[in-house]
Amino acid sequence: MIGIPQHHAATPSGKPRARGYGIPFDGVPGALNAITDVPGVAVGYTTLISGSGPLVVAKGPVRTGVTAILPRPKAELAQPVFAGIYSMNGNGEMTGSHLIEEVGTFNFPITITNTHSCGVAHDGTLRWMHRLLPGALDAWGLPVAAETYDGFLNDINGHHLTFDHVAAALDGAAAGPIEEGSVGGGTGMTAFGFKAGSGTASRVVEWQGKSFTLGVFVQANYGRRHNLTIRGARVGPELVEPAVIDNTPQKEKSSIIGIAATDAPFLPHQLKRIARRMPLGVAATGGYGYHSSGDIFLAFSTANAEAAGATQSELATASYIPDPEINIFFDAVIQATEEAILNALTANEDMTGRDGNFVPALPRPWLERRFSAG
């Protein structure tokens, strides 16, 4: 659209983002409208798509991958970040969560993949870190690895993700504009009966004459068609077609993983509060946290590096924005979560997977009619 920065309207490969259809949003996005607007944060993907036809376990079809999110530059990944975690509905997994609850920090990259490859992503991260920074593993490591279920489209029991795929995503992680939709861990994911997966957005927050950035990344794989809501309009009932083709009826398995990053200085309890607001962005799209959904959210701050990594015999000092001033960051994380989810839906295409199971993309002609301002 005229007047919208290129990176706000489309992904690097040219897939349309939500703003490209004229969908309006609150708040001020960063230059890339992505989690990588936060200085030092990088994202990498490995995407695995192969085969078609009937499911043959260990052969395919394959519709999966892994996403890597680096909270600091590669040389600094052993340096912890302050963090907070929140599970709105715990029918899912995010490793390292108990450590984050206990001490309010984590280090090493975050990975997101499919449910049955979460362990490979976890262990692959440790192998990669040992190669990159051997001294970082002199004691032990507990990286963050999260998952959502892609077995409707993917041969999930074939365990196609390998340590080399994890390493490729980590090696390829970079700042700058990033792809969305059916890439990385989001490759085989579905939301509201439409093709979804990986999405991102960011907001610039002004506080006391200083400018901070808060970015969100989601792996969206949740929601029922009739609940889909776009900017307050419950549009699901308008979208009975195109329908999902399900040749292998199964129980609903849906989830969303959300990662929020910021360069604003916050303490762990404040980051937990920010993580708790991410489900409000999910709710704005019509996500209600149904029984089988693993809705898990992590927020971290790249500020206060010395305090977050302080060791014994040191008096640590950390700066932080006072709690009464946090509301503008609540606004930012809710806004960015909502937009990241819609970007995962709009920057997508139809996909057919195992057994001919089919998931349509959110129809572009409908989006153009419904939202474009011309």
Summarize pLDDT for 326-335 with one digit per residue, the tens: 999 999 999 9
Cβ pair 68, 109 in contact under 8 A: yes
Which tokens sit at 104?
A: 């309010």
Q: Which CATH superfamily is domain 6-366 in?
A: L-amino peptidase D-ALA esterase/amidase (3.60.70.12)
- Decide if 50 is catalytic: no
Q: What percentage of the chain exceeds 90 in pLDDT? A: 92
Which listed residue (293, 319, 331, 372) is catalytic? 293
Q: State the pLDDT at residue 374.
A: 45
Which listed residue (202, 255, 263, 301) is catalytic? 255
- Decide if 150 is catalytic: no
Which listed residue (37, 150, 155, 295) is catalytic? 295
Give the C-alpha separation, 231 to 236, whole Å.
12
Domain segments of the chain as ranges: 6-366
- Decide if 313 is catalytic: no
Of 171, 170, 217, the closest CA to residue 198 belongs to: 217
Cβ pair 62, 56 in contact under 8 A: no
Which tokens sit at 169?
A: 């995503």
Indicate if the pLDDT at residue 324 is higher than 60. yes
3-state secondary structure of 361: coil
Q: State the pLDDT at residue 1.
A: 52
Average pLDDT estimate for 343-355: 98
Confidence of residue 2 (pLDDT cuts 50, 70, 90): low
Q: Is the pTM of this model over 0.85?
A: yes
User: Which regions of the chain does DSSP assign to beta strands (E)?
Assistant: 42-50, 62-70, 81-90, 105-106, 110-114, 144-148, 190-191, 194-195, 197-207, 210-221, 229-230, 233-234, 255-262, 294-301, 351-352, 358-359
Longest Cα–Cα distance in the chain: 64
Summarize pLDDT for 79-108 with one digit per residue, the tens: 999 999 999 999 999 999 999 999 999 999
Summarize pLDDT for 115-169 with one digit per residue, the tens: 999 999 999 999 999 999 988 887 789 999 999 999 999 999 999 999 999 999 9
